Structure 1
Amino acid sequence: MPNIIMLHRNNQAGQKLVNLLSESIKELKHKDSYILGIPFIEISISTENSIKRTLNSEASIKNCMERETMSQMLELSGISFGQRAGETIIKYYDVLIFDMNTISIRVRGKDSTSKYIKEADSGKVAEIARKTIYVMGLDYGMVTIALTGKRKIRVMDIFDSPELRKKDMNALVNKIVLLTNQGYPRINPDNEIKMGADPEFMLFNARSGKMIAASDFFPREGIIGCDNIRVPNRQQRPVAEVRPNPATSPRELTDNIKSALSSANKLAPYRNVCWVAGSHPLSGYSIGGHIHFSNIVINFALLRALDNYLGIIVFLIEDPASASRRRKKYGHLADIRLKPYGGFEYRTLGSWLITPEITCAILCLAKIVAEHYFELSNVYLNDTEALQAFYQGNQEHFRPLFSKIWKEISRTTTFNDYREELKVIPAMIENKVTWDEGLDLKVTWKIEGRSRKNYSANKNKSAVIANRSSARQRSNTNRSRSSRPSSSRTNSSPIHNTRIQP
């Protein structure tokens, strides 16, 4: 059985690709194939490593054969497709992508002149091209992007098998040879994948139902801080962010989150202040549960596994109405941010802080997917209907797929390590239970030391400022030494009755 299969149109570039790959890869075979009557070459490569990969699947190529399908899939994903009536085009960009990597960018002007530029000179264009290739299900291709007179960026066309200049063809061959030889390398093969997180939550007054800004209690930096979003026309920052110490164990990371929440309670020790999580727990504000990964190389295969085996599972337990409101602006599929330490942040999920059991289960699932993504290769989000269901919160579209997805996950060697923690997920999905965004995190996480004092913005202002200053000093001190994680992960039920309606 071949480890890598690649489909390429039987054009001049396809023939050249086969010839060059044959010079570097001994175990390579190719044969003629047809997709909707169009001749293709199916390239098969056998390797000694565990990699299994299809580059440009038949389904993804079919997606790119219909402009209506391209338009629908891209627009659902927040990418503008096609020129609008009356728009003028200033220039075009032809961006060649292979597996998250930008191989080249060619700029074409009105006068038919063209030149190649560096990715650093047009990072936004490269980012949109990468996302376009991903959304269509491709692993490799060229995206033509237009810049309009009003500085709008539009995707104009997608080519799954473009003709290439010699330099780009050689770069493509080198990428495929590297994938064949290395498989899915770790940055440091001797170290485990490390995970971190910065899930968000919001605060409100239990009596009035009004939102209370996180910046009323928490400093900007530290294990508990404020997100950068501000209240319109004010300096207040409404969203609180938990920044626990990272860990290789999802159980330890959950403990670190509880430790951080306990620190938050010292800064906001008021019984009438409720903490809530989810996707859109308070009107006008969306929050997320971002998960960080390091010591692993990001590629389209990993990203697709996260979307299809983590994103869909969380989609089936989140509040669908709240999640669909969030996804009008945040939480698109494949939403990642590269980090300066060499890892990346997966930003698709809403804030899963609802209960410690849900938190730990999702972090355990994330660890399994990251460790075994080369085994979790099925794609369930590769057509217009699936994307529409995801962004509109239609859980019934994916519910019939759950048993198949869960069976694939349960076959991984790491699954048994987290079997107990993961039980809450099938229990919720099979019983059609979704998380409750009205639950107070201080109750569900059993945060000790809850005060009987009530918070009043004017009355408690000086105490809050003093607490924030003290927290900032502790944060600066803790940066120079590692914090020992808490070992008091709670075992309360994932579904609680203590709910306060905002």
Structure 2
Amino acid sequence: MAGDVWIWLGDSGGWRKAGSSVDSTNPTGGRAEELDGKASLSGGRSEELDGKAGLSGVRASGGCNAAMVDGPGPDDAIVVWGGGRPQPGHPAYRERGMHPGWVLNAHAGDVARLPDGEWRRRLKRAGLSVSDGSGDQRVYRVPVFHLQALAVRRLYGPADDGAHWRYGGSAATELPPRDEEAGRLKDPLLRRAAAAAVEALYALGLDFGEVLVAVDGGGRAAIRSVELPGKRLNAGGLWGTALDRFAAWYRTVRLGDGSTEQPLLIGADPEFVLLRADGTIASADRYFRAAEAGTDAVLVRRRLLRPVAELRPEPQDSPEALAAELRRLLRYAASRPGTDRLRWAAGGMPVPGLALGGHIHLSGVPLTGRLLRLLDSYAAFPLAMVEDPAGHKRRPRYGALGDFRLQPHGGFEYRTLPSWLVSPAAARAAFALALLCAREAWTLAYAPAEEERWVQAYYAGDRSELAGCLDRLAAEMAKTDSYAALSRWIEPLLDAARSGKTWDERADIRAKWRIPPFAGSGAVPVGGKRNGEERGSGIASAGKDSGGRQSGSKLNDGKASVGKLSDGKASVGKREGGERPHRGSPR
């Protein structure tokens, strides 16, 4: 039946169908196996864990309620468990020439063949630290399946032979389903290890595997090794439970009757910064302290400052409605005393050293690794083609691909994008692209974020190279049912990208949003529109480069310069309480 999950064991093993006799509310939860000094995490064949183990992996055992059957159809998901991915037209497919919609670990074979230095480079490019094994570190083994760590287990060693690791204690730290509040890890070191493991697999283009994570005395996590499960898949164990739960969840979301479905809504929390005439930053918490127009924190030399302003509109069901809500909040912000004398700037990095984000919230759509890669491909890539040339310096500390955070309302926050608050057109384009990905999550077949060429161009800020995937992206979007309703907001951004135009982060965002003093005063209700207020609200300006930017910008609390570096640039410190937000872990 449609909505099945099939496990590909290679040409010699063929297909097996994952079982469905488990709870369907969670796609990745599973029971951690009891471990002794000789047992593996999967509860199967004993494995000794080499501290220098590479991407070639170890033999793995797990389980699924399996039966040999005829193979997947176009609405099924495929899990590649050892061996290469079967190509369209392979005789194992139910329909010859079929192109499966979702293949987990599709590129595992390619990743396994990467030289040691290359996979380390890719992790560093995505902002992850890589451990060389030196120094005083705690080492954890973390199996991950589809964006969630299944268990976190501390390893001790090296053993007497100086080469292998051993388990300590008798049980792994179990991670219950991620939608259960009780399942949150209390130990911050375990949270960091789990989050780093999820991030590492995503950065390598993988959906499941096992990661050795080293955490130093300062609580900083670094990747020590990445391992892929082997070809054997036995009954029972951690992997089998995860596969069965995933199969039940997938069938529910693909074939649900709609009785419990939530409406698809989009929200946002874009950031902007207030600048004085001399280029110094005016701390936003002097002006904004409301729930809808507040601030974000930065830790600078052990001082928690709030220089960044943040808008928090109510979620809406269309790009136009959400943009109207943002305009209302901008008008409210403009009414605060003293803000009219300041320049309001947005984008990726309008002040050297200070990164801004345009996070998008989605609810009413299941979070999947597939959806994240579509958002990377159809939202992050096009916006990177029109961002200010200085904006790519925000990456990889911020703006890493696949950066997400689960939200209490049941949806998730996509955190990769820069602050598209530079103009209404850029904002609506970002909203429309995100909605298109959510609505067409099972139909969009092309995802350039899965290809190394485009990922490298994104992190390098190479707009001309990245533009090489634009025409195919546009063609794929145009084939979807959702495009007709969203195209009027998407096509201006595509036109700007084709023309080589970029937005100007030096400009005051109030001009294009028609906010006082650049427009008449007076509130505009949500959904309202003044005559002519869209004029000049385009996405970008032609041929702008990064020359002539404001220099010497300093983070200022209103009395004295704080965090000024030797070159006069703003010292960002660490955002949100001093710790970089880990991607991929709600724990």
Same fold, TM-score > 0.5, yes or no: yes
Q: Which amino acid aligns with 2:112?
A: C
Q: Which amino acid aligns with 2:148?
A: N
Say whether residues 1:102 and 2:149 are aligned partners: yes
Instruction: Call closer, same or farther: CA 1:54–1:270 in 2, change over 3 Å.
Output: closer
Q: What TM-score, normalized to structure 2?
A: 0.69
Identity fraction in percent:
24
Hey, what does 1:372 align to over in structure 2?
Answer: 440
Hey, what does 1:157 align to over in structure 2?
Answer: 225
Bigger shift: 13-22 or 142-151?
13-22
Contact 1:73 1:387 in 2 (8 A): no
Task: Name which of 322, 344, 355 aligns with 1:253.
Answer: 322
Gap runs ≥5 in structure 1: 453-482
Q: Which amino acid aligns with 1:79?
A: L
Say whether residues 1:357 and 2:425 are aligned partners: yes
Instruction: Call closer, same or farther: CA 1:108–1:245 in 2, change over 3 Å.
Output: same
After superposition, the C-alpha distances for 1:458-478 in whole angstroms (9 at most, x for unaligned) are xxxxxxxxxxxxxxxxxxxxx
Task: Name which of 108, 126, 132 aligns with 1:83.
Answer: 132
Hey, what does 1:135 align to over in structure 2?
Answer: 203
Hey, what does 1:168 align to over in structure 2?
Answer: 238
Superposed counterparts of 1:110-259, under 5 Å: 110=157, 112-114=166-168, 115-119=171-175, 120=185, 121=187, 122-148=190-216, 152-162=220-230, 166-184=236-254, 189-206=260-277, 208-219=278-289, 221-229=290-298, 236-259=305-328
Say whether residues 1:280 and 2:349 are aligned partners: yes
Q: Which amino acid aligns with 1:54?
A: V
State the shift of 1:443 in Å: 1.1
Contact 1:60 1:382 in 2 (8 A): no
After superposition, the C-alpha distances for 1:400-431 in whole angstroms (9 at most, x for unaligned) are 11000111112111110022222211210111
Once residues 83 and 334 of structure 1 are traced to their aligned partners in structure 2, the CA distance between those partners, rounded to angstroms, is 25
Once residues 499 and 141 of structure 2 are traced to their aligned partners in structure 1, the CA distance between those partners, rounded to angstroms, is 49
State the shift of 1:297 in Å: 2.0
State the shift of 1:438 in Å: 1.4
Q: Which amino acid aligns with 2:293?
A: I
Local SS of the residue matching 1:238: strand
Bigger shift: 375-384 or 342-351?
375-384
Say whether residues 1:408 and 2:476 are aligned partners: yes
Say whether residues 1:53 and 2:102 are aligned partners: yes
Hey, what does 1:460 align to over in structure 2?
Answer: none
Local SS of the residue matching 1:157: strand
Instruction: Call closer, same or farther: CA 1:411–1:260 in 2, change over 3 Å.
Output: same
State the shift of 1:118 in Å: 2.4
After superposition, the C-alpha distances for 1:344-386 in whole angstroms (9 at most, x for unaligned) are 1111111001111111111111111111122224332345554
Q: Which amino acid aligns with 2:113?
A: M
Q: Which amino acid aligns with 2:66?
A: L
Local SS of the residue matching 1:422: helix
After superposition, the C-alpha distances for 1:121-142 in whole angstroms (9 at most, x for unaligned) are 5221111111122111122222
Say whether residues 1:65 and 2:113 are aligned partners: yes
Contact 1:56 1:160 in 2 (8 A): no
Once residues 401 and 60 of structure 2 are traced to their aligned partners in structure 1, the CA distance between those partners, rounded to angstroms, is 34
Q: Which amino acid aligns with 1:371?
A: R
What CA RMSD, in Å, does the superposition of the two structures yield over aligned residues? 3.8
Say whether residues 1:317 and 2:379 are aligned partners: no
Once residues 534 and 120 of structure 2 are traced to their aligned partners in structure 1, the CA distance between those partners, rounded to angstroms, is 47
Q: Which amino acid aligns with 1:292?
A: H
Task: Name which of 323, 328, 332 aligns with 2:400.
Answer: 332
Contact 1:197 1:246 in 2 (8 A): yes
Contact 1:21 1:177 in 2 (8 A): no
Which structure is higher in helix share? 1
Task: Name which of 487, 492, 496 aligns with 2:528.
Answer: 487
Once residues 428 and 464 of structure 2 are traced to their aligned partners in structure 1, the CA distance between those partners, rounded to angstroms, is 25
State the shift of 1:192 in Å: 2.2
Q: Which amino acid aligns with 1:109?
A: Y
Instruction: Call closer, same or farther: CA 1:55–1:450 in 2, change over 3 Å.
Output: closer
State the shift of 1:170 in Å: 2.8
Gap runs ≥5 in structure 2: 14-43, 46-58, 160-165, 176-184, 551-587
Contact 1:278 1:437 in 2 (8 A): yes
Contact 1:7 1:56 in 2 (8 A): no
State the shift of 1:451 in Å: 9.8
Once residues 81 and 539 of structure 2 are traced to their aligned partners in structure 1, the CA distance between those partners, rounded to angstroms, is 55
After superposition, the C-alpha distances for 1:247-286 in whole angstroms (9 at most, x for unaligned) are 1112100000000000001014654311111011123311
Local SS of the residue matching 1:281: coil
Q: Which amino acid aligns with 2:243?
A: V
Bigger shift: 335-344 or 59-68?
59-68
Once residues 259 and 223 of structure 2 are traced to their aligned partners in structure 1, the CA distance between those partners, rounded to angstroms, is 37
Local SS of the residue matching 1:345: strand
Once residues 89 and 229 of structure 1 are traced to their aligned partners in structure 2, the CA distance between those partners, rounded to angstroms, is 28
Contact 1:444 1:496 in 2 (8 A): no
Instruction: Call closer, same or farther: CA 1:317–1:432 in 2, change over 3 Å.
Output: same
Q: What TM-score, normalized to structure 1?
A: 0.80
State the shift of 1:88 in Å: 4.8
Q: Which amino acid aligns with 1:104?
A: A
